[in-house]
């Protein structure tokens, strides 16, 4: 039987993976910006590194929350 905690855990794992994937994409785009020597998609290298940092923290937070829900089932 699937409990409410397991459903919450599953949702948070998906959200965490999405944020971590976006963080990786922003990081790669920042590196491309470094190689090209200019902005990519109108975003500077600093902006992209900031985006990668924030999305990585959100992804880690979602994964910690998923762990918490898995522990409390």
Q: What pLDDT score was predicted for residue 73?
A: 65
Q: In the predicted model, is pLDDT for residue 1 greater than 70?
A: no
Task: Report the C-alpha gap between 54 and 61 in whole angstroms.
Answer: 11
Count of Cβ atoms closer than 10 Å to residue 50 Cβ: 14
Beta strands in the chain (DSSP E): none
Q: What is the pTM of this model?
A: 0.86
**Alpha helices (H) in 2-44, listed in sequence order:** 4-36
As a whole-number percent, the residues of the chain with pLDDT over 70 amount to 97
The count of structural domains within the chain is 1
Question: Which domain does 31 fall in, by range?
Answer: 4-71
> pLDDT per residue over 33-56, tens digit each?
999 999 999 999 999 999 999 999
């Amino acid at each position: 039987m699937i409990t409410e905690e397991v459903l919450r855990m599953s949702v948070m794992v998906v959200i965490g993976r999405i944020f971590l994937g976006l963080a990786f994409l922003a990081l790669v785009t920042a590196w491309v910006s470094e190689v090209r020597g200019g902005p990519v998609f109108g975003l500077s290298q600093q902006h992209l590194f900031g985006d990668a940092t924030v999305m990585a923290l959100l992804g880690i937070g979602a994964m910690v929350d998923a762990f918490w829900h898995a522990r409390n089932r």
